[in-house]
Chain A
Amino acid sequence: KNEVEQSPQNLTAQEGEFITINCSYSVGISALHWLQQHPGGGIVSLFMLSSGKKKHGRLIATINIQEKHSSLHITASHPRDSAVYICAVWDTDKLIFGTGTRLQVFP
């Protein structure tokens, strides 16, 4: 079993839909990252959080430390949101990455 599990693995949506991507982890962590990987391969860090909730534009990330679970929400999704979204957790001294959720948003 992977230490970081994401669901779903693949997700398709119509433009404007509300999107939720989930991340569960089994290790004790100091922080959790959400990353976005574009089709060309480049990765952008979206959020780093250790408690509560963070918001940036149409993106919202939440974390529940007790339940070892985080969610990434996208409101009013747009085709340009199509990418792979990766969850990663800090375990003592290294980042452990999930395998990613591939999101496709159609017009």
Chain B
Amino acid sequence: DGGITQSPKYLFRKEGQNVTLSCEQNLNHDAMYWYRQDPGQGLRLIYYSQIVNDFQKGDIAEGYSVSREKKESFPLTVTSAQKNPTAFYLCASSINRGETQYFGPGTRLLVL
């Protein structure tokens, strides 16, 4: 079964800690994306990657970091510099940038 997986589904973090959200896809897609969703707002782009070993900042990249060492994987690290990290995080992928995006199930991050 092809698809995108994100883990964990729920994540709790203490203030001041870094935390890494996993995103894996077996769709052989080149492009991958991280979005943040807050109540009452549309999804906002954090980072995207069009090819291995390359990634670009989105609209709200401050306090986040990513890596793209493998085509299948695009982990997102929420650093302690992110002042308001509690949110729902969605990973997506597409064959190329501009094509239909396929979304993972999301990770809900709660800072305690």
B-contacting residues of A (Cβ < 8 Å)?
2, 4, 30-31, 33, 35, 40-45, 48, 86, 88, 90, 93-100
Contact = CB atoms under 8 A, between A and B. Distances in A.
Contact of A95 (B40, B41, B45, B104): B45
A38 to B, nearest CB: 9
Interface of B: 40-45, 58-59, 88, 90, 92, 97-106, 108
A41 B105 contact: yes
23 contacts: A2-B42, A33-B100, A41-B105, A41-B106, A41-B108, A42-B105, A43-B103, A43-B106, A45-B102, A48-B100, A86-B43, A88-B42, A88-B43, A94-B45, A94-B59, A95-B43, A95-B45, A96-B42, A97-B42, A97-B43, A99-B40, A99-B41, A99-B42
Nearest to B45: A94
Nearest to A98: B42
B40 A45 contact: no
Contacts of B108: 41
Contact of A31 (B98, B103, B104): B98
Contacts of A94: 45, 58-59
Contacts of B105: 40-42
A86 B42 contact: yes
A88 B42 CA distance: 9
A42 B98 contact: no
Given A2-B42, A93-B97, A96-B42, A41 B88 contact: yes
Nearest to A99: B42
A48 B101 CA distance: 10
Contact of A45 (B44, B97, B98, B103): B103
A48 B90 CA distance: 19
A44 B98 CA distance: 16
A98 B41 CA distance: 8
B33 to A, nearest CB: 8
